[in-house]
Amino acid sequence: MRFIKRTTYMHDIQLFRYRSTLVWYLLLGVVVLAAPLSMGAYGMSLLTLVGIYAIVALGLNLLTGFTGQISLGHAALFAVGAYTSAILTGTHGVSFWLALPAAGILAAIVGIFIGLPALRLKGLYLAIATMGLGFIVEEIIVHWSSMTGGVNGLAVSRPVLGAFEFSSDDSFYYLVVSILFIMTVIMKNLLRTPTGRAFVAIRDSDVAASSMGINLAAYKTIAFCISAFYAGIAGSLFAHFMYFIGPENFTFLISISFLVMIVVGGVGSVHGAVFGAIFITLLPEFISFTRGYLPEVIGKQVGLQEATYGLVLILFLRFEPMGLYGRWLKIKFYFEHFPFYKKDTFKRERKFYRTEH
C-alpha cells in the first residue's frame, strides 16, 4: 500500500504522482529510443505502425472512451489526413511540416460533419450514421480520381528537414515517436483540465452535465474535432511512412480495427491506446503467420481477419471490458496488496438504492 501526503494541489494534478512512476517512464523512454539498436528493419516498421495507430487510438479513446460517443467513421478521418498530406506535398509541393498540421485541421473539419449526427443520435444509431459518413468519404476517394488518384492511389514521399531526409525507417520511427509523445502530453493535459472533465461528464450524465453549465452540443462537437485531428495527424504520418496510399488502406474494416484497438487496450485509458495499437499491429501478422498451420477450411477463408476482429471484440466486451490496461491494473494491484488481495475488489457493484419517493 502506498500513502502520500499531499502538500500542494499540484500533487493531484501533475502527470507523475509518484517518483517511482517517473522512473518507470524514463526507463520506458530509454527502451523506446534504443529500440532501433536491437530490432531488424521489419520489427522497426511494425513499431512505427504501432506509434501511428496509437495516435489514432488516443483520439478515438477521447471520443468513445471518455465522451461516450461511438464512431465507425474513423478510417475516413484517417484517410482525410493521409490524402491531404499526400496531395499537398505531392501535387502542390508544400512542405511536410505544413502539410502535417493541415492534415490534422482538415480532418478536424470533416470530423465536425461526422459528429453532427451525435447531436441527435446515441449508441447504435450514432454508430450507423458515422459508418454511413465513412462510406461517403471512401466513395469520394475512389471517384474523385483527378485529385486522389482513384483506385490507383497516390505515391507519397518521405519528409525532409533542411538537408536531412527521413528516408530510413529508423529516422521515421523517431519522428513518429516524438509526435506520439507530444500528442500524449496534449491528451493528458486536456484530461486534467475542465475540458476533459466536461467530456467525461457528458458520458456519465448529460442532464447533470448541462446543469453544471456544459454546452452538450458544443462539447460533443469539440470531442469529434479533437478526435478527428488525432486521426488526421496519424493519417498524414501513415501516408508518408507507406510511400503509397490507396482506397484499400481506409476501408470500413479499418474503422472496425480502430474500435477493436481501444476496446482491447482499455476504453477510457490513455495507456490503453498503446496496448491496443500493439495488438492491432501484431494481429494481422499473427493471422497470416498461423494461416499456414490451420486446417485448410479455416486457413484459406477470406474473412478470417474480419472474423477474428469480431471475436476479439466480443470476448473483450464480455470478459474484460476494461481491456488490457484494466488487466494490467489488476495484476499490479494484486502484487501491491499481495496477501490481502480480495477476489471481488473489482467486481462492479449493483445498486438497489436509487429510489423515487
CB of 76 to other proteins, least distance (A): 23
Q: What is 117-151 written as a DSSP string?
A: GGGT--HHHHHHHHHHHHHHHHHHHHH-HHHH-GG
CB of 43 to other proteins, least distance (A): 33
CB of 68 to other proteins, least distance (A): 10
Element holding 236 (H helix, E strand): helix 216-242
165 pairs with which residues across the strands?
A: 160
CB of 59 to other proteins, least distance (A): 13
CA distances from 81 to 58, 206, 220, 245 (A): 16, 31, 21, 11
Question: Closer to other proteins at the Cβ: 3 or 293?
Answer: 3
Q: How far apart (Å, rounded) are the C-alpha atoms in residues 126 and 115? A: 9
Q: How far apart (Å, rounded) are the C-alpha atoms in residues 270 and 191? A: 10
- Residue 299 grid coordinates: 486457413
Question: Closer to other proteins at the Cβ: 118 or 242?
Answer: 118
Question: Closer to other proteins at the Cβ: 3 or 340?
Answer: 3
53 pairs with which residues across the strands?
A: none
Of 156, 116, 120, nearest to 136 by C-alpha is: 116
CB of 118 to other proteins, least distance (A): 16
Question: Closer to other proteins at the Cβ: 173 or 199?
Answer: 199
Question: Closer to other proteins at the Cβ: 208 or 298?
Answer: 208
Question: Closer to other proteins at the Cβ: 19 or 348?
Answer: 348
Spatial contact of 291 and 280, defined as CB atoms under 8 Å apart? no
Of 328, 310, 334, 258, nearest to 61 by C-alpha is: 258
Residues that bind other proteins (CB under 8 A): 9-10, 12-13, 186, 189-190, 192-198, 200-201, 203-205, 207-216, 222, 268, 348-349, 351, 353-357
3-class DSSP assignment, residue 164: strand
CB of 209 to other proteins, least distance (A): 8
CB of 226 to other proteins, least distance (A): 8
Question: Closer to other proteins at the Cβ: 91 or 205?
Answer: 205
Place of cell 458544443: 218
